Chains A and B, each alone.
Chain A
Amino acid sequence: MADVAALRRTVLEILPRVDLVIGWQRGPDALRAAPLLMRNAADVDRLIWDRTCVHNLATFLPREKGKKVAIIVKGCDSRSVIQLVQEGLVDREDLTVIGLPCDGVVSQAKLRRAADMDRLESAEIGADHVEITAAGKTLRMALDAVMPDKCLSCAYPNALLFDRFVGDPMEPPQQRQDPYARLDAFEALPLEERFDFWKREMSRCIRCYACRNACPLCVCRDYCLAESRQPHYQSQESDVREKWFFQLIHATHLAGRCTECGECERACPMGIPVLLFKKKLGRIMTELFQYEAGLDVSATAPLLTFQAEEENIVEKQWL
């Protein structure tokens, strides 16, 4: 991981030329961070850069449109920035991207399964391990065990789009986990079980829209179909059908745009694995159109174009 002092120096250098720099600061406990919007030099003292910097800060870019903004990004986050630039949702001219190399963050969801994170007393993150003291017990875990799946299967550890790069570029992990391993496991279940699984999971949803608002590409936000009365796409009721349908709005509106950064699932306060929907769509995009979102600012998303003779689509034949 790049050194935070070097990052702070870069931020201080850029700060006079922009309205704000978006980074991370320490959050409510030792293993949680929070976004930090730096406007003056004093704010930069609070900037951190370590494995707790999980947030994809690109989610703040569309709402700061019109300002000169600098943003600090990991490899995965940079793909969201590329996608936003590609779609004209942020202005490249107004944007300064500070790229970082990153070989993985820690997952709150995985930490919660392993340790009593609500009673966290102290934590130390080493090169290949995390040591946690919680509820009086000390636990040492391999870093791999508490990294999000997206880090274990990361193909882009370095920011793909940047104006300044802080640190030395990194190699992707030697033994990359299959990015669709969890999806495969899920799809191995019988259809009825998958249907019942979602009914159960979605019944937990509280319709708070954290998934939508954390998503860097869900840019309608305040004008979301889910709350629209005209057209009246869905009811405001909080039953499973409406909550599930909302997830399908989110997923289908991201088809061919989603970079699978996992913010939706990370943000979910109820721990619903909503990333599965996007993973599935991501794999379909690769299968059908050999397209991966967020790699090229000049690419056209596959659902915004067509080929008269599609290579991979076999239409249904009737006798």
Chain B
Amino acid sequence: MRLSRRSWFFLAMSATCLLLLAPTPEKYRWVNLSMGALSLMWFILLATEEILARRDENRPRAGRSHR
């Protein structure tokens, strides 16, 4: 399934937040976790929107006859 660059951008940000978890001091890890979760949420929402929009486009329109 092809997704837009914007969706991948949010997934990449989420991955970056998680990758930085190890070098982040324990006291501040809540920043990585909350931002990683927020970014992942946007990735899921944007990807779902794109997939649904593409499915609607591909669906044959009602009322049109096929000869």
Partners in one complex: no
